[in-house]
Every structure is written in structure tokens, then in C-alpha cells.
């Protein structure tokens, strides 16, 4: 659901109160303020929720809040983009992993699945460590692939934290300590992308838990 509302104190409280009064449960929320366009200075609130007994009345009551200007229901991101494969690392390696992941995801998605692939090429230990740590805060992430020629130090610690959050990590075979902290090490970047997607797929037979700690 997307709500456009005045950017002032107490608006989020008012919206959450109406949602709770209808027996609905917010499971994901994102909020930002428009800095351009027709809604400049106003806030956009997007949230996904478990509906209560009367979804139509919930929409009506949210629209009736004085500070709310527009309310529109949407399909959850999970129904549109599905599970996410995140690829982080150096540009050339990221591109090769992405090629394998996108080609494999296409094969599954034309059969009705929803698997999306997100990439970001980065350099520098601190920059990479911050990006890896942020993965566990992203919605719908199912697996992380680290693609680079050398990674270690703070990046390895971030990998441990991502795995503790329940997100498996595949690393390319590279210099540094990251491969020792990953669930799976893969030499060929294209194959690493394929492995990531088939692990996420609900129809494939590959399970990273069965080969954890191995190198291919």
C-alpha cells in the first residue's frame, strides 16, 4: 500500500493506529519525503501488511485521516519481484556472476517463478564491508554472492554477520579470508551466479546446505 501524507509529527502514529484497529499487521515499511514533483515536501509511506477482516474499510479509514492525501493498494513486492540474489564486488567479476544469474533466473521465471538479481560493483575494504552488512537489512534477500579478486578483513566479519542473519553467502575463489567465511566457494563466476539462483529456486534440486564448506 502507498500513502501520500503531510510531512508532520504524528502522521505515522495515526496511520499505524488505523491499521492496528482493523486487525492488520505491518510486515515491511519504507518512508521518504518528496523533494520534487507535485508532492514536494510531502511524505510517501509504502508498507506491506497482513490484511484484517475488512480490507476495503481499512482503505476508506486511512483515506479519512486529515493528513493523508492519497491511498493506493498495490501487490506486494514479493509477488512482483520475488526472491533477490545480491551480487557485490569488482566490476568485471560482478558482470560475469550477473550473466550466469540472470540467464538462470530467466529460465526459472518463464516457468512462473519470481527471482530478481541485484548487482553493485564496489572497491575498498570499508565500502564493501558496509555494503555486505547492509544486505541483511534489505527486503526479500535470499542469497549473497561476493565477486572479487581479493577480500578479507572487515568484509569477512560482515560475511559472518550476514550468515548469522540467515542469508547464505557464495564467494568466488579469491585471495583473502572471505572464502573461508563463505558457505560455498566457486571458481567460475558464471557458475557462481547459476548456483545462487538454483539455491533460491523453489523448483530446483540444488541446496547450498548440502554442500556447505566445499569448493567447486
**Domain co-membership, 106 together with 125:** yes
**Domain co-membership, 103 together with 203:** yes
**Domain co-membership, 98 together with 194:** yes
Taking phi first (over 0 means left), then psi (-120 to 50 degrees means alpha), and beta for anything else, what does residue 205 get?
A: alpha
Domain CATH code at residue 41: 3.30.70.260
pLDDT in tens, 80-135: 778 899 999 988 899 999 999 999 999 999 988 999 999 999 989 999 999 999 99
Number of domains in the chain: 2
**Domain co-membership, 68 together with 137:** no
**Is pLDDT larger for residue 196 or for residue 37?**
196
| Residue 17 binned pLDDT confidence (cut-offs 50, 70, 90) | very high
Instruction: Give a yes or no: residue 19 inside a domain.
Output: yes
- Cell numbers linked to 66: 486529515
Instruction: Give a yes or no: residue 190 inside a domain.
Output: yes
| Residue 35 binned pLDDT confidence (cut-offs 50, 70, 90) | confident
Instruction: Give a yes or no: residue 215 inside a domain.
Output: no
**Domain co-membership, 178 together with 204:** yes
- Domain boundary (49, 74, 99) is at 74
Long-range CB contacts for residues 199-205, cutoff 8 Å, separation at least 24:
199/142, 199/143, 199/168, 200/83, 200/85, 200/115, 200/142, 200/143, 201/108, 201/113, 201/115, 202/113, 203/108, 203/111, 203/113, 204/108
Q: How far is CA 126 from CA 27, 45, 89, 133, in A?
A: 31, 31, 12, 11
**Domain co-membership, 59 together with 100:** no
- The pLDDT of residue 78 is above 80: no
First to last CA, the chain: 43
**Domain co-membership, 61 together with 90:** no
- Domain boundary (42, 74, 106) is at 74
**Domain co-membership, 46 together with 85:** no
Total number of residues shown for the chain? 216
| Residue 214 binned pLDDT confidence (cut-offs 50, 70, 90) | confident
Instruction: Give a yes or no: residue 160 inside a domain.
Output: yes
Residue-level pLDDT at 204: 76
pLDDT in tens, 154-202: 999 999 999 999 999 999 999 999 999 999 999 999 999 999 999 998 8
Distance CA 190, CA 192 (A): 5
Residue-level pLDDT at 82: 82
Instruction: Give a yes or no: residue 128 inside a domain.
Output: yes
Instruction: Give a yes or no: residue 216 inside a domain.
Output: no
- The pLDDT of residue 69 is above 80: yes
- Domain boundary (14, 48, 74) is at 74
Handedness of CA 56, 57, 58, 63 (dihedral sign): positive
Residue-level pLDDT at 53: 87
Domain extent for 90? 79-210
Domain CATH code at residue 146: 3.40.50.10550
| Residue 29 binned pLDDT confidence (cut-offs 50, 70, 90) | confident
| Residue 27 binned pLDDT confidence (cut-offs 50, 70, 90) | confident
**Domain co-membership, 38 together with 18:** yes
Residue-level pLDDT at 187: 95
**Domain co-membership, 83 together with 169:** yes
**Domain co-membership, 67 together with 18:** yes
**Domain co-membership, 100 together with 133:** yes
Amino acid at each position: 500500500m502507498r500513502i501520500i501524507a503531510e510531512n508532520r509529527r504524528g502522521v505515522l502514529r495515526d496511520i499505524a493506529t488505523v491499521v492496528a484497529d482493523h486487525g492488520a499487521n505491518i510486515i515491511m515499511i519504507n518512508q521518504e519525503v518528496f523533494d520534487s514533483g507535485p508532492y514536494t515536501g510531502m511524505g510517501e509511506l509504502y508498507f506491506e501488511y497482513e490484511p484484517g477482516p475488512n480490507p476495503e474499510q481499512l482503505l476508506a479509514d486511512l483515506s479519512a485521516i486529515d493528513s493523508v492525501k492519497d491511498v493506493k493498494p498495490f501487490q506486494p513486492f514479493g509477488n512482483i519481484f520475488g526472491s533477490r540474489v545480491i551480487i557485490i564486488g569488482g566490476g568485471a567479476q560482478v558482470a560475469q556472476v550477473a550473466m550466469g544469474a540472470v540467464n538462470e533466473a530467466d529460465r526459472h521465471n518463464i516457468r512462473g517463478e519470481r527471482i530478481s538479481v541485484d548487482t553493485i560493483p564496489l572497491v575498498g575494504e570499508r565500502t564493501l564491508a558496509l555494503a555486505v552488512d547492509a544486505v541483511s537489512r534489505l527486503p526479500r534477500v535470499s542469497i549473497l554472492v561476493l565477486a572479487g579478486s581479493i577480500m578479507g578483513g572487515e568484509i569477512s566479519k560482515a560475511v559472518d554477520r550476514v550468515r548469522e542473519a540467515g542469508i547464505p553467502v557464495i564467494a568466488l575463489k579469491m585471495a583473502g579470508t572471505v572464502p573461508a567465511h563463505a558457505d560455498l566457494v566457486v571458481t567460475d563466476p558464471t557458475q557462481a551466479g547459476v548456483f545462487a539462483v538454483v539455491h533460491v529456486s523453489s523448483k530446483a534440486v540444488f541446496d547450498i546446505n548440502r554442500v556447505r564448506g566445499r569448493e567447486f
